[in-house]
Amino acid sequence: MTLVTVDDVRGAATRIASDVIRTPLLPCARLSDELGLRVLIKPESLQNTGSFKVRGALNTLLTWKENGTLPEGVVGFSAGNHAAAVAFAGQRLGVKAIIAMPHDAVESKVINVRRYGGEIVPTDDLLGTTEELAAQYGYPALLPFNLPEVIAGQGTVGLEIAEDAQDAAAVIVPVGGGGLISGIGAAVTALAPSMRVIGVEPEVSNALSLAMTHGEVRELPRAARTIADGLAAPRAGNHTLENALAYVDEMAVVSENAIGEAWADLADSAKLIVEPAAAVGLAALRSGAVSLPAGSTVVLVVSGGNADLVKLAQARMG
């Protein structure tokens, strides 16, 4: 299996440049003082569709278009952010998007998908329903993480970090199926080799670290029920596993309580609307699951901002 390279990521950056926001690195004085680190936030919550996912979806469809294989439509599965990204990319390129989503998907994510013309199929079996949709319509699956084109697109986050924070000691990345950290790892390892690439998962949804431990993709023993719904992947993928083994320096897990507390505090500290998945990096630093030398620079990837605002308000109230 061929690894995604920094050249693949650079190619993706060129393809998607006109349709994505180059998000800044924002210093966060409050968290820096608390943690004894120089904390920089990469706010993909400000990205088109409200998450990093649009980078991978766009790069995939644009690559297929370059290759002359752009389909009439695509299918996929998602808790919401990938669904909105596929709908957004499909709208840009005239491709129909049909996405399997959980019955209990966050309402803001459902609204986001429909805003961009995506068709939602509610289901309790994301993978099975996606296969059924592919067979019914004859459309290819644009998967949320396990495609090289998706990984390369997500890697543009790492390309920007390497350009803007060459001296950072580490980048901490939320992990579900592993597409984001695989792409970031490909870029950062090549361009800023002293920067550690650290992934964080909910302890109840650790599909990538499970695969890395065993050297093969394994299904989680039970369906993940986590506050960080964007990280609830049923399994990693063969592509994300191989790239993670090559590019990821460390993996950590955090509890549901730690995620909930960090979610509220990250929104307050950074003055950003974020979703729980975006807060696992802060949870890992606070809990000691990830430790860095005092005074070093760390980049927290804030992966998305499609939050349930009622639950966010409740979390902030304790």
| Residue 241 confidence (pLDDT) above 90 | yes
How far from each other are the two terminal CA atoms of the chain, in whole angstroms?
A: 47
Can you give the pTM of this predicted structure? 0.95
User: What average pLDDT does this structure show over 267-285?
Assistant: 95
- Rounded to whole angstroms, the Cα distance separating 229 from 290 reads 22
Q: Which residues contact residue 305 at a Cβ distance below 8 angstroms, ignoring those fewer than 6 apart?
A: 43, 44, 45, 46, 50, 51, 272, 273, 274, 275, 278
Pull the structure tokens for residue 2. 């061929």
53 is a catalytic site residue:
yes
Dihedral sign for Cα atoms in the order 94, 177, 140, 215: positive
Q: What is the mean pLDDT of residues 55-79?
A: 96
In which band, very low, low, confident or very high, does the pLDDT at 316 lie, cut at 50, 70 and 90?
A: low
What is residue 309's predicted lDDT score, i.e. its pLDDT? Answer: 65
pLDDT at 318: 60
| Residue 269 is a catalytic residue | no
Q: What is the DSSP letter of 235?
A: S
Per annotation, catalytic residue among 205, 209, 287, 303: 303
Q: Per-residue pLDDT averaged across 150-177, rounded?
A: 97
Alpha helices in 271-308 (DSSP H): 280-287
- Residue of 53, 78, 205, 269 marked catalytic: 53
Domains of the chain: 6-51+147-316 (3.40.50.1100), 53-137 (3.40.50.1100)
Helix (H) or strand (E) holding 27: strand 26-27
| CB < 8 Å & 24+ apart, contacts of 136-139 | 137/73, 137/75, 137/98, 139/71, 139/72, 139/73, 139/74, 139/75, 139/96, 139/98
Return the pLDDT at 114: 95
What percentage of the chain carries pLDDT values higher than 70? Answer: 96
Q: What is the pLDDT of residues 8-35, one digit of tens each?
A: 999 999 999 999 999 999 999 999 999 9
How far apart, in whole angstroms, are the C-alpha atoms of residue 244 and residue 146? 12
3-state secondary structure of 166: coil
State mean pLDDT over 215-238: 89
